[in-house]
Amino acid sequence: MGRAAIPQVILRNEVLGVLLPGGEPREWTIEVDKERQRIQTVGYEQFVMFHANLPKTVAIESSDGRTASVTLWEDAQNNRILIFSAETGLLRARGVLAGEPVTLSPGAYVMLSRFDPELEELGAEQLSKESLNKSLL
């Protein structure tokens, strides 16, 4: 994976977070759904995981004035998806199941969904709460 020049929302090892660029020493403020944390970077990229489960918004500001903001989920409805590059983990698209099609370049992708299945309608049976929770993460 190439070096990050700007903060980027990524999915790394099934963990959602932000990749902060390396370079000059900087202090970053990361606000995830109004919860703030401060991170120091010195010379190398740093991955910072989000502690919120399926956060809606992420805002990032550096001590030198760089800013970035991302809305991950457009609303609180179910059946929303985030699509990440399987190779780099970079967020590539957002979408809605049964909504407008999402067009992507050829490649491998990982989809993170916020989906509350109606098990009876799907003809499925919940084996355990743990397995359902893992499938929703």
Query: In this predicted structure, what is the pLDDT of residue 137?
Result: 43
Query: In this predicted structure, what is the pLDDT of residue 116?
Result: 63
Query: In this predicted structure, what is the pLDDT of residue 134?
Result: 45
pLDDT per position as a tens digit, 60-72: 999 888 888 999 9
Alpha-carbon 7 to chain mean position: 12
pLDDT bucket at 88, cuts 50 / 70 / 90? very high
Q: How far apart are CA 137 and CA 29, in angstroms?
A: 25
Q: Which is more confident, 65 or 58?
A: 58
pLDDT bucket at 123, cuts 50 / 70 / 90? low
**Pairing of the two strands 35-41 and 26-32:** antiparallel
Start-end of H helices in 27-124:
119-122
Q: Using a pLDDT cut of 70, give the percent of the chain over it.
A: 81
Q: Is the pLDDT of residue 21 over 50?
A: yes
Query: In this predicted structure, what is the pLDDT of residue 128?
Result: 47
pLDDT bucket at 3, cuts 50 / 70 / 90? low
pTM of the model: 0.75
Q: Is the pLDDT of residue 110 over 70?
A: yes
Closest CA to 73 of 89, 57, 84: 57
- For the segment 101-114, the average pLDDT, to the nearest whole number, is 89
